Structure 1
Amino acid sequence: MANPYREILTTPGVKGLVIASSIARLPNAMMGIGIITMLVQQGHLYWLAGAVSGTFMLTNALLGPQVSKLVDQYGQSRVLPLVTTFSIGMLLLLVIAAYMKASTPFLFILAVLAGSMPSMPAMVRARWTELFRGKPQLHTAFSLDTVLTEIVFIIGPPLAIILSTSAFAEAGPLAATLLLAIGVTVFIRQRQTEPKVVLAKHTGGKRESILQIPSLRIIILALLAMGVIGGTTNVAVVAFANEQGWPTAASFILAAYALGSLVAGLTFGALRIALPMEKQFLFWIVVTAGTALLPILAPNVYIMAVMILISGCSFAPAMVIVMTLGTIVVPAARLTEGLTWMTTGISIGVALGGLLAGLVIDAYGARAGFGVAIASGLSMVVIAMMGLPILRAASEVRSELSAEAS
């Protein structure tokens, strides 16, 4: 039996893409926690550290689609160097300002400007789509991409924390900035896999927002709900471990979530499933919602780790299907922008989940915090069921257009 991963890795340009993208996406995993650790180590209050970091991440989530819109219009190799250079400059100024104990408003202004950092995960997925659009290999490529993302988020945050706590306070954000410069430079040199600029058809007047595409809105809402589940899990697991008198257990419980997602992603990528994409979307949404019920049943940290492991197994396959569906319903001329909005949806969901879970936990305890994930899972199923006819119609239209183009 042929190995689907070997098949895509032997495609010209793919090995370079994997290496470059792994470096380029590390800053996304390091910068948020790096800013928090830097400011705390410098003696700032936790609320300020969290607020500055949150400002950076929220701005990055909202500016990312605008940067990606420019990428769709002018190409990655023309836009990314300029935007990355500006972002690096603002990140360095933020580090310097923090070191020099600059005023609080100035830190927030620099955090907003630094948030112009490009969404490298969307850039990478656009390249996978360019290579394997309409082919079964795209399924395997997105599975590999999801696994690489899991690995990056396993390595990145601890690396940023260790650097800032064992070397000097600014080491974490500085390392992330250096990796951003190296990663994007190597990434844009991979010209063989760069997506071609697709000229959009205009009917005159102002260009409509991509968010006016109904099927894309369904996908973004579903991803937002998935993000809420992830953000809730992070906070609720930490609270649960504290209530159990074993705070450090949170680390291996959350590692079990990442491990489950990683293994499931690799396995899922090796499969070829004939079921229509919109039906696979509904199936994995239901599975993800169902596994969100499990953690609330755990009586101790050991069972919690098992429940979280099982929950994690649904995450990667769901992400693969959602991202693949996104490449089907979004016009080729606006693919990077659409993929970035999808990433923005899940990022906002993670932040919202952490906030809501924190409020519930403060009022009712750790176990109640998992109720936020359950509620989000139910809303996700409702969104998917209501949006199924829209997604089916969009898939059929896009397939007909692709057939005419070929």
Structure 2
Amino acid sequence: MSNPYAEIFRAPGAKGFSAAGFLARLPIAMAPIGIVAMLSQTHGEYWLAGAVSATFALTNALISPHVSRMVDRLGQTAVVVPTTTVSVFAFFALIAAANQNWPDWTLFVTAFLAAAMPSMPALLRARWTEIFRDRPELNTAFAFESSADELVYIAGASLSVGLGVALFPEAGMLASTIFLALGTLAFIVQRSTEPRLRHTDVEVSQGSAIRLRAVQIITLALVFVGSTFATAEVSAVAITKELGQPNAATIVIGVYAIGSFVLGLILGAFNPTMPLHRQMFIAVSALAITSWPLLMAATVPLLALTVFVSGIAISPTFITAFGLIERRVPASMLTEGVTWVTTGIGIGMALGAFVAGWVVDSFGAENGFWVSVVASAATVAIIGLGQRSLAGTTAECPVDPLAQPAE
């Protein structure tokens, strides 16, 4: 049996843009938790750290779909170069503001400007689509990207926290900014794989991808999934610090990735035949069930074990979510459609970081994981109620976001 992943990387340029893209998207995960790790050490207040992180993540989540719509209309190079330049300089200013103890308002302003960062996961999927459009290899490429996204969200966060704790408070954010600059530059100079522009009547008539019912459901669900990520990260930092082992936060967050990443690659290689909407419901149900043991993590080893178990369901959730989006969004709107999913994750991480930080400050580090329990339960409810729409049994056409579901 041939390796399906080896097959997709035989395409000209695939290895190059994929490697560059992986580096460039590390800041998606490194920046939000890196801001928390940096400011909690330099300013000593979790609420401030969570609020600044939320400002960046929430603004980026709201801006990214509009940036991606511009990419669909103007091309990757024309949009990515200026937006990334703004983001890189703003990140450097944020690091300086933290290091030099500038007024608190400068932290929020620089975090807001740094949010111009484009959605690299969407740009990568658009390139894979350009290479394998209407070919079976495209499904394998999407599965690889979903697993890579999961690894970025978990391993990137671990790297950011580890650098900030082991070296100096700004180390994680400094590394994140360098990855963004160098990775994006390496990605954008590879013009041979850049998607050609497609301006179709379908795209014009349907408007924004968020008007599609499936996109609305999955985006909302991923808001709560993103909250579980941020909660695990903030709570892990707070609990390990309270237990007198702050360096252990790197290990605790890192184990999130191990089982989930491997399971994601297996699912991508074997391509289960169960309908994606049912796979996603099972995945989010597992996420909800495994969040409860997190409340009993009173030692670092137990914390690492419960976080590992909780992380198993993450990659399947990602794979099925992106798979459903890619089947429900027109090809000419793919960049924006995928971006709405990452928008949901970004909003969730922003809100999760803020709420978890407030809970930790107000009720103690051991209670931070209650945010994960509530968020994962909400995800199950959303996906469960949306099964009919996700299955494609309702009309797949643009709808008003405020309209009532089809009966």
Settle same-fold status: TM greater than 0.5: yes
Q: Superposed, which structure 2 residues align to 1:7-406 within 5 Å?
A: 7-35=7-35, 44=43, 46=45, 48-95=48-95, 102-133=102-133, 135-153=135-153, 156-157=156-157, 173-201=173-201, 208-241=207-240, 247-296=246-295, 300-361=299-360, 366=365, 368-393=367-392
2-side partners of 1:23 and 1:383: how far apart? 33
2-side partners of 1:4 and 1:177: how far apart? 33
1-side partners of 2:61 and 2:384: how far apart? 27
Question: Is the partner of 2:312 in helix, strand or coil?
Answer: helix
Q: Give aligned-pair identity as a percent.
A: 42
More off after superposition, 346-355 vs 66-75: 346-355
2-side partners of 1:380 and 1:296: how far apart? 19
RMSD of aligned alpha carbons: 3.4
The unaligned stretches of length 5 or more in structure 1 are: 399-406
1-side partners of 2:39 and 2:240: how far apart? 26
More off after superposition, 269-278 vs 240-249: 240-249
1:357/1:30 Cα in 2 relative to 1: closer, same or farther (>3 Å)? Answer: closer
1-side partners of 2:231 and 2:98: how far apart? 30
Kindly provide the amino acid, as one letter, of the partner of residue 122 in structure 2: A
Contact 1:328 1:395 in 2 (8 A): no
Contact 2:57 2:350 in 1 (8 A): no
1-side partners of 2:13 and 2:336: how far apart? 23
More off after superposition, 57-66 vs 168-177: 168-177
Kindly provide the amino acid, as one letter, of the partner of residue 82 in structure 1: P
1:115/1:371 Cα in 2 relative to 1: closer, same or farther (>3 Å)? Answer: closer
TM-score w.r.t. the length of structure 2 is 0.83
* Per-residue deviation, 1:345: 0.6
Question: Is the partner of 1:270 in helix, strand or coil?
Answer: helix
* Per-residue deviation, 1:69: 1.1
Question: Is the partner of 2:313 in helix, strand or coil?
Answer: helix
1:180/1:242 Cα in 2 relative to 1: closer, same or farther (>3 Å)? Answer: closer
* Per-residue deviation, 1:10: 1.7
More off after superposition, 32-41 vs 230-239: 32-41
Q: Deviations over 1:317-339 (max 9, x none)?
A: 11011111111112222211121
Q: Deviations over 1:151-183 (max 9, x none)?
A: 445664565567678888766545443432322
Whichever of the two has the greater Rg, that structure is 1
Kindly provide the amino acid, as one letter, of the partner of residue 81 in structure 2: P
* Per-residue deviation, 1:219: 0.5
1:224/1:36 Cα in 2 relative to 1: closer, same or farther (>3 Å)? Answer: closer
Contact 2:55 2:350 in 1 (8 A): no
Contact 1:20 1:187 in 2 (8 A): yes
More off after superposition, 65-74 vs 259-268: 259-268
2-side partners of 1:356 and 1:96: how far apart? 26
**More relative contact order, 1 or 2 (CA 8 Å, 6+ apart):** 2
Q: Deviations over 1:307-360 (max 9, x none)?
A: 322221111111011111111112222211121111111122123233334444
Question: Is the partner of 1:116 in helix, strand or coil?
Answer: coil
The unaligned stretches of length 5 or more in structure 2 are: 398-407
